[in-house]
Structure 1
Amino acid sequence: MAAASIKEFGKVWWSEVYNRIIGAAVFLDDYSAECLHWDGGLLNLMYGGAVSVKNLSPFEVASKDHKKAVFISQSTSTQLRTIREIIKHSDFSHCMLISTVSLDVVYLELNEGKDVSDVVAAGKAPTEATKQLEGMLLEWIGKQQSAVEVVHLPLFTICPTNIVFLTPPYQNVYPLYDGKLTPDSSALDLYSLSRDGRSQVRRLASGLNSLMDSMNLREDIFYMGTYSSLVAGVLENSPVCLARRKTCSNPASLIIVDRTLDLCAVTSHSMESVLDKIMTVLPRFPGHSTDVAVDMSPVCEANVINHPDDVQLPPGCLFHAHDDSSVQTFDHMINKSQKEVLFDLYNKLSKIDVQKSPSPKTLLKVTPQSLEKIVSASKGNYDVIEKHMGILQQALAVVHTLKSPKRAQLELLQNLERQVLQSLAASRDSTSVLHQISHLIKTRKDRHLSLESLLALIVHVYSLTGTEVSFSKQHESSLAETLSVAIFEDHKTLFSPDSGYMCSPEQCDEISKKIMGRLKEMALMRKNLQKYGSVLKPCETGAGHEYRGVLQQMVNDLVDTERPELPDLRHRNEGLKDLLRSGLNILTSKKSRSTKHPLDNPTVIIFVVGGVTGEECKAIHRSVITSGVDNAVFIGSTKFVTPVEAMRDVLDL
């Protein structure tokens, strides 16, 4: 199946699903359900002919009169056991497994510990996996007259905008090596990772390969960061990827970057993007990594006691695939200013306003209260609500966010970040930043600050300073001691009940030491970068310093018409090719060809392993547009991330 763009990629493969579900009971896992939401949601399956749609859970079964089942799954060993339970407790005679992960990867996982190198090298792994899985399905059905089918459909992307894509099934993929920030050995390969670690790299690489295949792209692979080199290695050398590159004809550049090289952007509370603000303030939509739960009680008659857990009124959400007006507003939430988003929403709401509020043209300023007034006027008017459901949900999300008590905390944290930046830029080695943060932790309850947010601030500081600032041992010891006490006091909100932490004073000491060790590792993440080792740059105005992220610096150089050197961006196969070229040059005495540049190809995909923010996507997109380059540049990542989520990822809490 061919896809003309990344947005088209997901639609093409979901249309394949809709062709296969007529008369079927459909069972799908949470990740596939999230991807479906961004293609149109549950109704797409029901209108497509499904007789029922259920979660892929061992506690679910189909009605006895449903004879056909379609399972949409990541095909992990746990999920295959779940499928077995569902089949054994139902009465199917026709089962289809839609594996969203490439079958060559599934084959390696099914045969973990066996020598299957010959099968893999010969490119027969997908065929053999199909046979194995079909055999398992037939055995579980246990009937003479039964039909089974196994297909791979790469359902793993969502597209918040035309140029940004995320991969919900890989939201937990992070540049860690068996829980550590840096690998034990410099001679790192896939087999120095744990079984789960290898599986994550292969699954992510297989997804990117499927994307390239659908878009008929033959890529040059560039990477920045150790973990990204592993993903690049699988993409470069896997037999399935090698076979695909022989048949694909459109040249492209794929740039893979480790999030851990620069954690400042994702742990900063100084956010301009409305989407970043919404995701930081509102709870997640149940089971989703990107959309949020919106309290809909202002337009409904139901009395909600505990949103979003109150089952009598399901939460609203931000993205509405079938509503073009809402899709446009979602794009604005990333790419436009808060003022522009408020005016956009007011314009759209004013067309449905039953009280006839002032015209947008006569308003000098749109406030959350202006939006709330129009939304409240539609309360209980279910004809209006039904017709304009998307825009009402988005307006309520913005109102709840901008009126939330958490906004004051965010503004305080923004001011603290600015003070830290000034302090670091002014004093460098003599800085007392950690002493100030220790004081903030001790007085956090008076300031209504959460320990989580302050931990995100500490991660921000260590990633910002890198190797340029060395903190005094006395200040670090004091911070570790303060953290230990704070973790003991706040462990119920910091850790989930099933985290395994008992949180005795002694264990809190250990957790605090682990965090401090992780922070010191974090400061060293850019030590091997030649050009992007520092993110503290003098302001262009000449006064003070500002943060300029690794990703932003790289993109600015990438689209610079002068084509500056990109020494930190490694080309996956340059080592071997350079060696061959130098050998040939001895014979031919011809001048060596210049190093490959990502913009040599018309399509460029930048993929960040470990999360991005809406603000980063907006800045990168703006750099590309203002540069005037003709290349199509797409931005991908494993997920959108908030400061607290980024902190939890890197500290492994």
Structure 2
Amino acid sequence: MSIDVQKFNDDVWDFICSKVKDAAVFIDEHAAECLHWNGGGMKLINAGASSVREFSQSEIGPHNQDIAVFLTCSPIVGDLYKLMESVIRASNFMSCLAVTGAGKKVHSLAKSLLTESTLNDSSDDPFVVLEAEMKSWMQEKVADSSKMVDAKVVSMPIFAVNFGGEKNHILLTPPFAHIFPAIIPSTQRLQKQAMSYHGKKAYNVNQSQTTSGETKLSKKIQLSMAHMADSLHRLLYKMGGRVEVYAMGHLSSLVAGEVSKRRAESWSNLVSQSGEVGLDASLILVDRTLDLATPCSHGSFALLDRIMATMAHLSGHTTDVAVDMTPLCYPKRPSCKVVGFPPGSLAHNPVIGEKTGAQGELLDLLAGGRRQKEVILGLHRQIMSAAISLRVRSSAPKAERITPKHGLCVSQALSHPTSQMFDYMSGAEKVLLQSLSLEEGKATAASEKSKEILSQVLL
């Protein structure tokens, strides 16, 4: 049994869509990227939102708009808190809903780390405090003091992108893309702590280590780690059952310790609510610095590797690329000058009433490590199937029939100048490996051959 990540995401966005009717929606960059893979901005418009705006200093609500919904992956503290205050004070809202991807514990930790607040988890509810402040900001613009304003803060796990369709085999987390173990002297003590579990390739952290230990990590990184642990816990809680947590690397051990602690706290509640819970699973976290071999290789075992390495990313995105759609928008005017280009992307544009899992089959082709010829034939089958279902006739030869967006993406990635360099580097890697595997008696010759190849690469 696997975690149905798409169902998990659908539940989150269905809840949000049920709250946006007739509202001005303000959404931050990370939440917008998650929405991009779960229906896009039109999902909110189709749900009744009057407008969808960037959650930024330059945006305020329309003069006659009295309902607002704020969507963010982050805890509403610090600069984000000031930004929401600025937007509400400059607008005429009577009702505000703030949906955050961070839970109450993360908010309390953020308050203690990033502000001088004395908020205490045991005595003050951070959401209740924020709701009272939001009401006070709205009340300032209400001439009639007898009119009631309303504010609500809720937490929903907005953090996951299901990149693998129904197979659920690739889970991306845009809000945590910046987290990377720091390779600096200040982490040496943590590395020694991790190495204290000598003799084990991975160690079980179910004995409660936490991210709040005496670390020398920055406050923002500590908060991000706690936020990630909270998000993973909520995903695992939705899955149900007992989960064993393991980690490799000092940073992963801290995150895993926090996940394990939260799982232990919720286990008794889960059993009391569900009775017997038979599902067991393991969560293994590995520091990215311990898996540098694959990112440093130019083999591109999956075509998606080549696409991500050669194509420009969509502005503000970490998980999607910009596809030049000019050939489709101007098919009969190849000589016309176009300023910029109409951008496409890998994300599927769902039909109203359909779930977003339809994009998974196409992404599986790109991410599945298949040969280029097999991927192109698969794309051909997809467009022919879609053409038949839509009763579309194509006058193009069969060899030229490929999917518009994904076909353009594949062709642009393979024809990109950088792609040729990848082929060259991949060949150089193979020759280097072969030279290093020569017999003992030919070690000198192998060394000379390696130097020759490396000199060519450096040129």
TM surpasses 0.5: yes
Residue by residue over 1:120-143, the C-alpha shift from the partner in whole angstroms, topping out at 9 and shown as x without a partner, is 5xxx48x61112221332233234
The answer to whether the aligner puts 1:408 opposite 2:388 as a matched pair is no
Please show how residues 23-102 of structure 1 align to structure 2 within 5 Å. 23-73=22-72, 74-75=74-75, 76-102=77-103
The structural deviation recorded for 1:325 is 5.7
Maintained 8 Å contact 1:97/1:149: yes
Residue by residue over 1:559-617, the C-alpha shift from the partner in whole angstroms, topping out at 9 and shown as x without a partner, is xxxxxxxxxxxxxxxxxxxxxxxxxxxxxxxxxxxxxxxxxxxxxxxxxxxxxxxxxxx
The structural deviation recorded for 1:77 is 2.0
For 2:350, the aligned partner's letter is: H
CA distance in 2: counterparts of 1:211 and 1:433, whole angstroms: 51
1:156 to 155, 159, 176: 159
Closer/same/farther in 2, CA of residues 442 and 334 from structure 1, 3 Å limit = closer
Using CA pairs below 8 Å that are at least 6 residues apart, which structure has the higher relative contact order? 1
Closer/same/farther in 2, CA of residues 179 and 132 from structure 1, 3 Å limit = farther
Residue by residue over 1:137-168, the C-alpha shift from the partner in whole angstroms, topping out at 9 and shown as x without a partner, is 22332345211101000010011112221111
For 2:38, the aligned partner's letter is: D
Query: What's the counterpart of residue 348 of structure 1?
Result: 382
Gaps of 5+ in 1: 359-369, 376-390, 444-653
For 1:100, the aligned partner's letter is: G
Query: What's the counterpart of residue 314 of structure 1?
Result: 342
1:191 to 214, 227, 230: 214
CA distance in 1: counterparts of 2:184 and 2:151, whole angstroms: 37
For 1:243, the aligned partner's letter is: E
Q: Secondary structure at the match of 2:214?
A: helix
Closer/same/farther in 2, CA of residues 354 and 246 from structure 1, 3 Å limit = same
TM-score, normalised relative to structure 2: 0.79
1:423 to 435, 441, 449: 435
Closer/same/farther in 2, CA of residues 321 and 226 from structure 1, 3 Å limit = farther
The answer to whether the aligner puts 1:357 opposite 2:363 as a matched pair is no
For 1:105, the aligned partner's letter is: V
Q: Structure 1 segments of 4 or more deviating over 6 A? A: 113-117, 177-181, 427-430
CA distance in 2: counterparts of 1:100 and 1:203, whole angstroms: 9
Q: Secondary structure at the match of 1:71?
A: strand
Maintained 8 Å contact 2:348/2:358: no
Residue by residue over 1:231-272, the C-alpha shift from the partner in whole angstroms, topping out at 9 and shown as x without a partner, is 11112235xx43322223443221111121120111211012
Maintained 8 Å contact 2:101/2:157: yes
Closer/same/farther in 2, CA of residues 36 and 407 from structure 1, 3 Å limit = same
Query: What's the counterpart of residue 582 of structure 1?
Result: none
Q: Secondary structure at the match of 1:413?
A: helix
Closer/same/farther in 2, CA of residues 111 and 338 from structure 1, 3 Å limit = same
1:131 to 128, 132, 135: 128
Closer/same/farther in 2, CA of residues 436 and 88 from structure 1, 3 Å limit = farther
Maintained 8 Å contact 1:134/1:148: yes
CA distance in 2: counterparts of 1:15 and 1:348, whole angstroms: 28
Query: What's the counterpart of residue 5 of structure 1?
Result: 4
Closer/same/farther in 2, CA of residues 435 and 16 from structure 1, 3 Å limit = same
CA distance in 1: counterparts of 2:22 and 2:185, whole angstroms: 45
Maintained 8 Å contact 1:191/1:198: no
For 2:97, the aligned partner's letter is: M
Considering only aligned residues, what root-mean-square deviation do their CA atoms show, in Å? 2.9
The structural deviation recorded for 1:348 is 3.3
Query: What's the counterpart of residue 265 of structure 2?
Result: 243
The structural deviation recorded for 1:401 is 1.3
Query: What's the counterpart of residue 242 of structure 2?
Result: 218
Higher mean alpha-carbon deviation, 344-353 vs 13-22, is at 344-353
Query: What's the counterpart of residue 503 of structure 1?
Result: none
CA distance in 1: counterparts of 2:337 and 2:12, whole angstroms: 38
Maintained 8 Å contact 2:191/2:250: no
Q: Secondary structure at the match of 2:286?
A: strand
Query: What's the counterpart of residue 172 of structure 2?
Result: 166
Residue by residue over 1:398-426, the C-alpha shift from the partner in whole angstroms, topping out at 9 and shown as x without a partner, is 11112222221110010121123233344
Closer/same/farther in 2, CA of residues 438 and 338 from structure 1, 3 Å limit = closer
Closer/same/farther in 2, CA of residues 325 and 40 from structure 1, 3 Å limit = closer
Closer/same/farther in 2, CA of residues 215 and 433 from structure 1, 3 Å limit = farther
CA distance in 2: counterparts of 1:237 and 1:165, whole angstroms: 23
The structural deviation recorded for 1:278 is 1.1
Please show how residues 217-296 of structure 1 align to structure 2 within 5 Å. 217-238=241-262, 241-248=263-270, 249=277, 250-296=279-325
For 2:418, the aligned partner's letter is: K
Residue by residue over 1:39-96, the C-alpha shift from the partner in whole angstroms, topping out at 9 and shown as x without a partner, is 1101110011111101111111110111111111112522222111111211111111
The structural deviation recorded for 1:396 is 0.7
Aligned length: 401
For 2:96, the aligned partner's letter is: C
Closer/same/farther in 2, CA of residues 199 and 353 from structure 1, 3 Å limit = same
Query: What's the counterpart of residue 534 of structure 1?
Result: none
Q: Secondary structure at the match of 1:397?
A: helix
CA distance in 2: counterparts of 1:135 and 1:272, whole angstroms: 53
CA distance in 1: counterparts of 2:59 and 2:37, whole angstroms: 24
Query: What's the counterpart of residue 22 of structure 1?
Result: 21
Closer/same/farther in 2, CA of residues 436 and 354 from structure 1, 3 Å limit = same
Gaps of 5+ in 2: 195-210, 271-276, 352-356
Closer/same/farther in 2, CA of residues 333 and 92 from structure 1, 3 Å limit = same
Closer/same/farther in 2, CA of residues 51 and 179 from structure 1, 3 Å limit = farther
CA distance in 1: counterparts of 2:318 and 2:347, whole angstroms: 13
CA distance in 1: counterparts of 2:186 and 2:450, whole angstroms: 24
Q: Secondary structure at the match of 1:221?
A: strand
For 2:178, the aligned partner's letter is: N
* Amino-acid identity (%): 27
For 1:229, the aligned partner's letter is: S
Residue by residue over 1:520-571, the C-alpha shift from the partner in whole angstroms, topping out at 9 and shown as x without a partner, is xxxxxxxxxxxxxxxxxxxxxxxxxxxxxxxxxxxxxxxxxxxxxxxxxxxx
The structural deviation recorded for 1:37 is 1.1
Closer/same/farther in 2, CA of residues 255 and 293 from structure 1, 3 Å limit = same
